[in-house]
A and B are shown apart, each in its own frame.
Chain A
Amino acid sequence: NAGVTQTPKFQVLKTGQSMTLQCAQDMNHNSMYWYRQDPGMGLRLIYYSASEGTTDKGEVPNGYNVSRLNKREFSLRLESAAPSQTSVYFCASSEVGDDPYNEQFFGPGTRLTVL
């Protein structure tokens, strides 16, 4: 099992460019998440999908959109990148959403720089 995979691993964008970060999990998990991690701060939730066909905003959704393509895949789109979106992005999954007892499984991260 690959677990949670993310592509790309690194990306440099110019301000105003768009891109999609891809995430896939092979653990048959229902819930998937996108976080961003900035220096000195905890992982902050951007969007999550409790189950296939549903998505909801997290703590910092502005400037992002998501698509839960199927049970395996959850993508994050930046429509018009801004320097404030320079960050490391993590995708995660868990068996059941909104269940405090389920551990989350993380991908390797995408390091995004917006110039």
Chain B
Amino acid sequence: ILNVEQSPQSLHVQEGDSTNFTCSFPSSNFYALHWYRWETAKSPEALFVMTLNGDEKKKGRISATLNTKEGYSYLYIKGSQPEDSATYLCACFSGGYNKLIFGAGTRLAVHP
């Protein structure tokens, strides 16, 4: 099974800071890249499903970009709020394995 790497593993920021983190994935046979948001004691929920190289998606203060040629995606949060505290998971459908492969996640803590 191919690897999906997320960095950093954890991140602490102050309320109002903007932040970003990275997901690296196999670029061969790429179909889609998913971002999920997982709050403690809740279910992971989909943020974005991205398919095209150069794609950029936005939901409120959260946005994501995709580079399928080099195999990475960035997730950006503008003006972080305490309610953004969660683990952000990325998952890709690529590399010849026809199921989603999940990264270990980036755990974000936003301090008031």
**Which residues of A line the B interface, CB within 8 A?**
3-4, 35, 40-45, 48, 58-59, 90, 98, 100-109
Indicate if the CB atoms of B103 and A58 lie closer than 8 Å.
Answer: no
Chain B residues with Cβ below 8 Å from A41 are 104
**Which residues of B line the A interface, CB within 8 A?**
1, 4, 9, 31-32, 34, 36, 41-46, 49, 51, 89, 91, 93, 98-105
Chain B residues with Cβ below 8 Å from A101 are 31-32, 49, 51
Indicate if the CB atoms of A108 and B42 lie closer than 8 Å.
Answer: yes
Indicate if the CB atoms of A100 and B44 lie closer than 8 Å.
Answer: no
CA distance A107 to B36 in the complex (A): 13
Instruction: Tell me if A's interface is mostly helix, strand, loop or mixed.
Output: loop
Indicate if the CB atoms of A108 and B32 lie closer than 8 Å.
Answer: no
Can you report 30 A-B residue pairs in the complex whose CB atoms are below 8 A from each other? Answer: A3-B43, A41-B104, A42-B4, A42-B89, A42-B101, A42-B103, A42-B105, A43-B44, A43-B91, A43-B102, A44-B102, A45-B99, A48-B99, A59-B1, A90-B44, A100-B32, A100-B98, A101-B49, A101-B51, A102-B49, A103-B49, A104-B34, A104-B46, A104-B100, A105-B46, A106-B36, A106-B43, A106-B44, A108-B41, A109-B43
- Within the complex, what minimum Cβ distance (angstroms) separates A74 from chain B? 15
- Within the complex, what minimum Cβ distance (angstroms) separates A47 from chain B? 11
CA distance A96 to B3 in the complex (A): 24
Indicate if the CB atoms of B45 and A98 lie closer than 8 Å.
Answer: no
Indicate if the CB atoms of B102 and A4 lie closer than 8 Å.
Answer: no
CA distance A43 to B36 in the complex (A): 12
Chain A residues with Cβ below 8 Å from B9 are 40
Known: A43-B89, A104-B46. 7 other contacts (CB 8 A): A4-B43, A42-B105, A90-B44, A101-B51, A104-B34, A105-B43, A108-B42
